[in-house]
């Protein structure tokens, strides 16, 4: 049955174990183009092969699948491989698309933490005594470094 999700999961698992799942991933995302879980599995597998391949998978699905889970996976990918500026742009895109989702609270929290980190870094660069003068914002863990 081409619409049986459990059988697709089993096919993917078998193909990954055999070492050649790309054809199965392509068939499943063609069958279920809006199923974020299959795109995430595809991107996770692709990331283990090559980061450029994973980025190509993400680029194919991000605009057509407005899924918080998919964007969260993409943001994790960006935090592992890209600069802070690129991660910031990724957060801005994600929040423009999904920021009103009631489940987007963690994404907003991470974004604000990243903004505070950038602000504090700039303050310290501009004024080495910024910490003593009380010009820094309360520091959260850097979400980019935490992901690496």
Model confidence pLDDT, tens digit, residues 40-68: 999 999 999 999 999 999 999 998 999 99
Structure tokens at 113: 């933490």
Mean pLDDT score, 4-33: 96
What is the structure's pLDDT at 13? 97
Residue scoring higher pLDDT (127 or 99): 99
Q: What percent of the chain has pLDDT over 70?
A: 95
Is residue 134 pLDDT above 80, yes or no? no
pLDDT band at 104 (very low <50, low <70, confident <90, very high): very high
- The DSSP call for residue 71 is H
Dihedral (Cα; 108, 114, 117, 123), 10-degree rounding: -90
What is the structure's pLDDT at 148? 62
What is the structure's pLDDT at 136? 78
Q: How far apart are alpha carbons 111 and 95 in whole angstroms?
A: 9
Instruction: Please choose, from the candidates 13, 20, 121, 103, the residue with its C-alpha nearest in 3D space to the C-alpha of residue 66.
Output: 103
Calculate Rg over the CA atoms of the chain: 19
Instruction: Please choose, from the candidates 71, 81, 59, the residue with its C-alpha nearest in 3D space to the C-alpha of residue 108.
Output: 71
Alpha carbon distance, N-terminus to C-terminus of the chain: 40
pTM above threshold 0.85: yes
Q: What is the mean pLDDT of the chain?
A: 92
């Amino acid at each position: 049955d081409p619409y049986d999700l459990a059988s697709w999961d089993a096919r993917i698992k078998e193909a990954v174990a055999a070492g050649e799942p790309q054809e199965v991933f392509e068939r499943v995302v063609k069958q279920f183009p809006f199923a974020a879980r299959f795109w995430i599995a595809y991107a996770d597998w692709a990331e283990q092969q090559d980061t450029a391949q994973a980025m190509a998978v993400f680029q194919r699905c991000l605009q057509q699948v407005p899924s918080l889970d998919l964007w969260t996976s993409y943001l994790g990918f960006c935090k592992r491989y890209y600069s802070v500026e690129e991660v910031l742009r990724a957060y801005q895109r994600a929040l423009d698309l999904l920021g009103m989702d009631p489940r987007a609270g963690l994404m907003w929290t991470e974004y604000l933490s990243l903004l505070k980190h950038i602000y504090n870094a700039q303050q310290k660069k501009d004024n080495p005594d910024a910490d003593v003068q009380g010009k820094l914002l309360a520091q959260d863990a850097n979400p980019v470094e935490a992901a690496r």
